[in-house]
């Protein structure tokens, strides 16, 4: 398969490159439309009880959530004494384009639920005309810019979902440009150090650009039929640039090796595609099936990363296997043009990495024990970890939306803007049972107020105000306890806290299926690549250990508060975001397999050539370590640049992936893989003869 592709590209090199460039221009012109279609929500489980409650409230009760909540604080006097000024402000807000109506402490007859604990601040709830997220974000941004600040004797703060989403969107877009402006120049400098040639160094960046632009188009296409999260932008750029560079690095390096080994250009292209190209194909499939598993979760926040990763991986493989070989065939020996520094190209069988491997394999038990002990220490901080979901605290503490959210938390008795919703079927029971149930709810700990609701022919609405932040472990526990209270048959519980509890439950329920899918798919792909039964199981076991160590360090830094200078300022919530943790875990698992394949491909080549285990591993590591190290360093730099983001979730993604990559390229590949290969010896390559026909070679 790969050999036929190589010969075809050699014959049609100019046409293949020209068509690729035309496709790039077309995809790029359409792909930019993606930015206007991305959303900032997606944490809810659409099939959950809380989602059903929200649907009933919208369709039957005609209730809409206030997208913007203005907190109006009094500089002098209390809220009641400033009613005329507050009502004038509310009238001004209601007249803004895109605003449907407003309700406030003052216009609702001084309702105490809308008043702060000190009596100085009150709410204005702003309901918008349009329900699509783009319109909500645009109108919320205008309202925040217009009213967040001083208004005579009043100080206004803007919060609410619309303000939060527009703030996150704006920050992610600006942070993305900042991280790219840092990562790309550093990446190019490192590529020059690796290749020593300007031409060779530029090719990986071109492949990365192709992958990113193509992925933008692919995700835009998906966004026409499904919701896509704004957070997927970071994965598209990070993974697109990283995989594109990694794959091109492998291809260009192998091509130069073959040329310097005496092959002509055509022979070098064929050899490159059948070896490095085969590795890239299986590597891409492994990353795709791993990150693609995110589509199994119910939340579109996680599904979005599946869409993004599948598009990125597909385009990275296409770019590495079609336009890149065509370019190499056209350039030939000119690939070394623009020499900046001389670097060794001809692969050696002996060197620093080979000696490290032989030292490790001389004492495999001791090395494996020490390495595993070290990883075990990194896993220890995981004890007692708590999980939560993103809220305004992911924004910098100085951000206006974060300041307003913190003020709301500190000054108001409960989450009146996000009450717990109870829908009791009218036909379920008599009025006595309903009143008993309402009384039981009111007596629960942390319920600070009960708000009468509306009634339809099917349901009675009851609302309870809690003083617990809804998107927290405590908020989740409260919902679980409320659902344990005996209730009239058919009663539904919803609201923000219930939405969070259902979202966490949805992730927990799907996680075993996702893990099973990843394990089975990766086992099959690695077997098809290596022809071994043992190697796939070892790779998966090491990846899970490495993943545990990575999450342990993430908890140690982002929850326990160590080494904060390394990741910059952020608001410590005492928890790790569940969705982002799942994303980091799946991403690092997939990328770790990437480097596993890079290394095993070289070891397998030596073993297939007749060398023993020790020599195969030593020479394979020697010939691949420079590229694996360079690829890992480049990808780590790209993701580490996300640490500069003001959004804590993006910091966590950047740090988690960068740390996992570096850990994998050092402790795992340099120490544990050689040690375990030595311990298993020739058993590494064992498989039943009947299975061998399922392997894919050339």
Q: What is the CATH number of the domain that holds 464?
A: 3.30.70
Q: Which pLDDT value is given to residue 501?
A: 94
Q: Are residues 507 and 497 in the same domain?
A: no
Residue ranges of the chain with per-residue pLDDT less than 50: none
Q: Are residues 463 and 563 in the same domain?
A: no
Q: Are residues 510 and 496 in the same domain?
A: no
Within 10 A of 97 (CB to CB), how many other CB atoms are there? Answer: 8
Q: Which pLDDT value is given to residue 509?
A: 94
Q: Which pLDDT value is given to residue 113?
A: 81
Q: Are residues 319 and 196 in the same domain?
A: yes
Q: In this structure, is residue 343 part of a structural domain?
A: yes
How many domains, the chain?
3
Q: Beta 99-104 vs 387-388: how paired, if at all?
A: unpaired
Q: Are residues 422 and 449 in the same domain?
A: yes
Q: Which residues, including other chains, have CB under 8 Å from residue 206's CB and lie 6 or more apart?
A: 248
Q: Are residues 415 and 539 in the same domain?
A: no
Return the closest-CA partner of residue 232 out of 302, 135, 287.
Answer: 302
Q: Are residues 660 and 521 in the same domain?
A: yes
Q: Beta 68-74 vs 99-104: how paired, if at all?
A: unpaired
Q: In this structure, is residue 490 part of a structural domain?
A: yes
Q: Is 40 helix (H, G, I), strand (E, B) or coil?
A: coil
Q: Are residues 223 and 369 in the same domain?
A: yes
Q: In this structure, is residue 630 part of a structural domain?
A: yes
What pTM does this model have?
0.88
CATH number at residue 532: 1.20.1640.10
Name the strand (E) or helix (H) holding 422: strand 420-425
Q: Are residues 684 and 598 in the same domain?
A: yes
Q: Which pLDDT value is given to residue 338?
A: 66
> 473, 502, 531 — which closes off a domain?
502
pLDDT in tens, 391-405: 888 999 899 999 998
Q: In this structure, is residue 442 part of a structural domain?
A: yes
Q: In this structure, is residue 56 part of a structural domain?
A: no
Q: Are residues 257 and 323 in the same domain?
A: yes
Measured in residues, the chain has a length of 698
Q: In this structure, is residue 542 part of a structural domain?
A: yes
- Inter-CA distances, 210 with 23, 245, 315, 320, Å: 10, 10, 7, 9
CATH number at residue 124: 3.30.70.1430
Tokens of 121: 């601040």
> 502, 520, 551 — which closes off a domain?
502
Q: Are residues 330 and 432 in the same domain?
A: no
- DSSP readout, 130-170? --SHHHHHHHHHHHHHHHSEEETTEEEEEESHHHHHHHHHH
- How far is the C-alpha of 453 from the C-alpha of 445, rounded, in Å? 21
Tokens of 604: 């397998």
Q: Are residues 478 and 564 in the same domain?
A: no
- How far is the C-alpha of 558 from the C-alpha of 572, rounded, in Å? 7
- DSSP readout, 431-493? HHHHHHHHHHHHTSTTEEEEEEEEE-SSEEEEEEEESS-SSSHHHHHHHHHHTTS---TT-EE
Domain with 325, as residue range(s), is 2-40+166-389+503-694
- The answer to whether the CB of 223 falls within 8 A of the CB of 255 is no
> 159, 177, 208 — which closes off a domain?
159
Exposure string over 316-355, b if 16+ CB within 10 A, otherwise e: bbbbbbbbbbbbbbebeeebbeeeeeebebebeeebebbe
Q: In this structure, is residue 596 part of a structural domain?
A: yes
Looking at residue 127, the DSSP 8-state letter turns out to be E
Q: In this structure, is residue 148 part of a structural domain?
A: yes
What is the three-state SS of 306-362?
HHHHHHHHHHHHHHHHCHHHHHHHHHHHHHHCCECCCCCCCCCCCCHHHHHHHHHHH
- The answer to whether the CB of 499 falls within 8 A of the CB of 419 is no
Q: Is 268 helix (H, G, I), strand (E, B) or coil?
A: helix
């Amino acid at each position: 398969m790969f050999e036929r592709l190589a010969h075809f590209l050699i014959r049609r090199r100019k046409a293949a490159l020209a068509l690729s460039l035309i496709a790039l221009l077309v995809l790029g012109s359409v792909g930019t439309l993606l930015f206007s279609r991305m959303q900032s929500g997606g944490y809810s489980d659409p099939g959950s009880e809380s989602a059903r409650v929200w649907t009933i409230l919208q369709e039957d009760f005609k209730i809409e959530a206030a997208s913007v909540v203005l907190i109006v604080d009094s500089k002098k006097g209390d809220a009641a004494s400033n009613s005329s000024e507050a009502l004038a402000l509310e009238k001004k807000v209601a007249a803004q384009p895109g605003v449907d109506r407003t309700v406030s402490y003052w216009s609702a007859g001084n309702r105490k639920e809308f008043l702060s604990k000190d009596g100085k601040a009150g709410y204005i709830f702003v309901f918008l005309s349009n329900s699509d997220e783009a319109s909500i974000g645009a109108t919320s941004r205008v309202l925040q810019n217009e009213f967040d600040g001083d208004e005579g004797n009043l100080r206004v703060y803007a919060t609410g979902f619309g303000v939060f989403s527009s703030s996150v969107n704006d920050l992610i877009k600006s942070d993305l440009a900042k991280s790219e402006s840092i990562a790309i120049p550093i990446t190019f400098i490192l590529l020059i150090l690796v290749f020593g040639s300007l031409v060779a160094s530029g090719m990986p960046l071109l492949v990365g650009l192709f992958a990113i632009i193509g992925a933008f188009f692919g995700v835009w296409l998906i966004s026409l039929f499904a919701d896509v999260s704004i957070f997927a932008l970071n994965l598209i750029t990070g993974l697109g640039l990283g995989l594109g560079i990694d794959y091109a690095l492998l291809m260009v390096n192998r091509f130069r090796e073959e040329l310097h080994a005496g092959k002509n250009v055509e022979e070098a292209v064929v050899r490159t595609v059948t070896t490095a190209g085969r590795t890239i194909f299986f590597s891409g499939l492994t990353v795709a099936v791993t990150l693609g598993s995110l589509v199994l979760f119910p939340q579109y926040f996680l599904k979005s990363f599946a869409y993004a990763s599948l598009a990125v991986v597909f385009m990275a493989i296409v770019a590495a296997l079609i336009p890149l070989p065509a370019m190499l065939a056209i350039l030939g020996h000119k690939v070394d043009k623009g020499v900046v520094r001389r670097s060794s190209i001809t692969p050696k069988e002996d060197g620093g990495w080979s000696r490290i491997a032989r030292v490790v394999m001389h004492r495999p038990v001791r090395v494996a024990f020490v390495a595993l002990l070290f990883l075990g220490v990194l896993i220890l901080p995981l004890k007692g970890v708590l999980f939560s979901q993103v809220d305004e605290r992911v924004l910098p503490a100085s951000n206006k939306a974060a300041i307003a959210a913190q003020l709301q938390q500190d000054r108001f008795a409960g989450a009146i803007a996000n009450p717990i919703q109870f829908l009791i079927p009218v036909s379920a029971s008599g009025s006595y049972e309903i009143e008993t149930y309402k009384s039981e709810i009111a007596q629960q700990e942390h319920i600070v107020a009960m708000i009468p609701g509306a009634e339809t022919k099917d349901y009675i609405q009851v609302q309870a105000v809690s003083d617990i932040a809804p998107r927290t472990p405590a908020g989740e526990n409260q919902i679980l306890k409320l659902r344990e209270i005996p209730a009239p048959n058919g009663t539904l519980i919803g609201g923000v806290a219930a939405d969070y509890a259902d979202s966490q439950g949805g992730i927990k329920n799907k996680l075993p299926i996702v893990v099973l899918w990843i394990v089975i798919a990766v086992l099959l792909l690695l077997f098809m690549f290596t022809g071994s039964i043992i190697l796939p199981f070892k790779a998966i076991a090491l990846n899970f250990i490495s993943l545990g160590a990575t999450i342990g360090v993430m908890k140690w830094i982002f929850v326990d508060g160590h080494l904060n200078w390394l990741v910059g300022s952020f608001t410590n919530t005492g928890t790790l975001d569940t969705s982002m943790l799942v994303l980091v875990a799946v991403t690092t698992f997939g990328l770790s397999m990437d480097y596993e394949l890079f290394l095993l491909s070289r070891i397998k080549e030596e073993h297939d050539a007749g060398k023993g285990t020790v020599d195969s591993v030593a020479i394979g590591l020697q010939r691949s370590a420079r590229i694996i190290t360079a690829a890992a360093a480049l990808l780590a730099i790209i993701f580490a640049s996300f640490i500069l983001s003001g959004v804590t979730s993006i910091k966590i993604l950047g740090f988690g992936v960068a740390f996992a990559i570096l850990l994998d390229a050092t402790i795992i590949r340099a120490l544990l893989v050689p040690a375990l290969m030595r311990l298993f010896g020739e058993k590494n390559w064992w498989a039943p003869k009947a299975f061998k026909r399922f392997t894919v070679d050339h």
